[in-house]
Structure 1
Amino acid sequence: MTKQDFKFQVFSLSERLFPMVARLLGNNSKAEDAIQEIMLKLWQKRKKIENHPNINGFVILTARNYCIDLLRKKTLVLEDSTSELKVLKSTGDIESLEWKELNNIIFKILEQLPKQQKEVFLMRDVDGYEFTEIAAALSLKMEHVRVLLSRARKQIGVALEKNYDYERGTYE
């Protein structure tokens, strides 16, 4: 694999890897360092990568495994990485308070999901990865990824509905 091929096929994915790596490691500066290390590892493996059938999936899997290895080796002081997920935004003061409350509710719901469901949900709906990339990164079949995502979305929807029914006074 030439420098140019590596740059276009592998290094160009570093921006897409950043949200996942930052979420796994818990902060942006550690994620930047990790991305650099991951790219160095991939550069050293460039001969193997050039014939790989799913380069994107391989890169994502390598990044995920690197982060997991880092977390196992060191007991990092993890910040709440979900605070990086500012999904909902608003402009007004009252609306801003409501959006913050909704974000807090969603983050609490995410913490209650099984690990695989949470990871698939975050990779798909927050990080924007394709099903094939998620399947390769988590070593799952694509159908299983779809099922996990569907179950996660359903659980989140049910939990949100329960919460809002409770606030309206119709909770049983």
Structure 2
Amino acid sequence: MTKLEFKNTVFVLSEKLFPMVSRILGSHEKTEDAIQEIMIKLWQKRGKLRDHPNINGFVFLTARNYCLDVLRKKKIEPYDGVSHLKIIKSKDENQIEWQELNQIITEILKTLPLQQKEVFLMRNIDGYEFTEIAAALNIKQTHARVLISRARKEIGSVLLKTYDYEKGAY
């Protein structure tokens, strides 16, 4: 693989890797360093990349595995990407309710199984497509869709219970 081919097929994905790597490692500086290291590793493997059937998937999987290796070596718990949730902003006096909703969703995400939470965050926070999620987690696209569906169903169920309870429905 030439420099130009690498740049056009692999290096262009570095920007797309940033949200996932940042969520896993937890800081902007660590993320920048990790992206550089990942690109170096991929450059060293460029001979294998040329014939790989799913280059995007290989890049995402390599990035995720690199981040997990970094965390294991330093014996750091994986960064809880839930805090990457953006506070939903409202222009009226319901700001407190929106903040409360964000807090409830954050707490719900902490209770989800790891894969469901990971798929939910990758899809809804990082903005990845199902093909990219499946490649990064080394699962089938249909399984990624099932996981996100279950996560959304659980979040909806807990929110319904919470708000029905507050309205006096119980």
Under a length normalisation based on structure 2, what TM-score does the superposition of the two structures give? 0.91
Are 1:18 and 2:18 an aligned pair?
A: yes
Tell me if the contact between 1:27 and 1:78 (Cα under 8 Å) persists in the aligned partners.
Answer: no
Q: Which residue of 2 aligns with 1:89?
A: 89
State the 1:79 CA deviation: 6.1
| Mapped contact 2:38–2:62 kept (Cα < 8 A) | yes
Name the CA shift for 1:81/1:120 in 2 (closer, same or farther; >3 Å): closer
Contact 1:57 1:137 survives alignment (8 Å): yes
- C-alpha distance in 2, partners of 1:17/1:91? 32
The corresponding residue for 1:36 is 36
Are the structure 2 counterparts of residues 103 and 115 from structure 1 closer, same or farther at C-alpha, using a change threshold of 3 Å? same
Does 1:147 find its partner at 2:138?
A: no
Shift in CA distance, 63/78, structure 1 to aligned 2, threshold 3 Å:
closer
The CA deviation at 1:70 is: 0.7
Deviation, structure 1 residue 80 = 4.8
Structure 1 residue 127 displacement after superposition: 1.3
1:111: Cα distance to partner? 0.5
Structure 2, unpaired ranges of 5+: none
Q: 2:116 and 2:4 mapped to 1: Cα distance?
A: 37
Q: Give distance in 2, aligned partners of 1:82 and 1:26.
A: 11
Moved more, 7-16 or 65-74: 7-16
Q: Structure 1 residue 96: deviation in Å?
A: 2.8
* Aligned-residue offset at 1:145: 1.3
Per-residue deviation at 1:7?
1.3
Which residue identity lines up with residue 23 of structure 1 in the other structure? R
Alignment TM-score, normalising by the size of structure 1: 0.90
Structure 2 residue identity aligned to 1:138 = L
Provide the aligned length of Structure 1 versus Structure 2: 170
Per-residue Cα deviation, 1:19-46 (whole angstroms, up to 9, x for no partner):
1111111222211111111111111111
What CA distance in whole angstroms lies between the structure 1 residues aligned with 2:116 and 2:97? 26
Q: Is the 8 A contact 1:120 1:134 kept in 2?
A: yes
Provide the identity percentage: 65
User: 1:122-137, aligned counterparts within 5 Å?
Assistant: 122-137=121-136
Q: Cα distance, 1:163 vs. partner?
A: 1.2
Paired residues of 1:118 and 1:152 also in contact (CA < 8 A) = yes
Match of 2:49 in 1: 49
The amino acid that maps onto 1:142 is Q
Shift of 1:59: 0.6
